[in-house]
């Protein structure tokens, strides 16, 4: 469960991309970023989510967004994932979980009575100044591009976000209905 709220300064990070290039939050300054955390390359829910963002990338770019995916997979795994699914955006290799931990999405999970540590599928929309604009904790993997690009209406629940003013803020991620909770 993330400790971050909409309006917070996004935590700084330093990691490497699928191409072995370093990337920091400062490198993303000046443009809006969809920073999405997912459990594992080449699994069903994660692939659907990546394909949705891939298919919407041009429209998102026209609207000033950059897409960056983060998982504990290696650079090599990310390169293979990008090649296999023609992904057209950056993936960060967070093998030590430091980025996931900074964003509060590395947590204990449970499946079939077995507990393990893993990524809580979560997406942060970060504005050009590095502040968190939106947090999506209930990710619709198949339609994530549409979910992240929907205009803000100000009505709670429209985008399945949990902002600072949401009454269930302390329960973020506790009623997840999306894929990616299986050990991967």
DSSP code of 138? Answer: S
Q: Which of the residues 25, 46, 53, 125 is marked catalytic?
A: 46
Q: What's the CA gap between 97 and 183, in Å, rounded? A: 16
Burial annotation 8-36 (CB, 10 A radius, 16+ → b, else e): eebbebebbbbeeeebebeebeeebbbbb
Q: Does the active-site annotation cover 46?
A: yes
Helix (H) or strand (E) holding 60: helix 44-62
Which sequence positions are flagged as catalytic? 46
């Amino acid at each position: 469960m993330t400790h971050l709220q909409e309006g917070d300064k996004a935590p700084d990070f330093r990691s490497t991309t699928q191409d072995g290039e370093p990337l920091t939050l400062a490198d993303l300054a000046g443009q809006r970023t969809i920073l999405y955390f997912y459990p594992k390359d080449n699994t069903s829910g994660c692939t659907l989510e990546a394909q949705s963002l891939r298919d919407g990338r041009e429209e998102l770019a026209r609207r000033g967004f950059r897409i960056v995916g983060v998982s504990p997979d290696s650079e090599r795994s990310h390169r293979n994932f990008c090649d296999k699914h023609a992904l057209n955006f950056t993936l960060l290799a967070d093998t030590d979980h430091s980025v996931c931990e900074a964003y509060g999405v590395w947590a204990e999970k449970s499946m079939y009575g077995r507990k393990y540590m893993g990524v809580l599928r979560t997406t942060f929309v970060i504005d050009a100044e590095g502040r968190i604009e939106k947090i999506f904790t209930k990710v619709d993997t198949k339609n994530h591009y549409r979910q992240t690009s929907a205009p803000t209406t100000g009505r709670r629940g429209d985008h399945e976000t949990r902002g600072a003013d949401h009454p269930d803020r302390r329960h973020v991620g506790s009623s997840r209905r999306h894929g990616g909770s299986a050990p991967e």
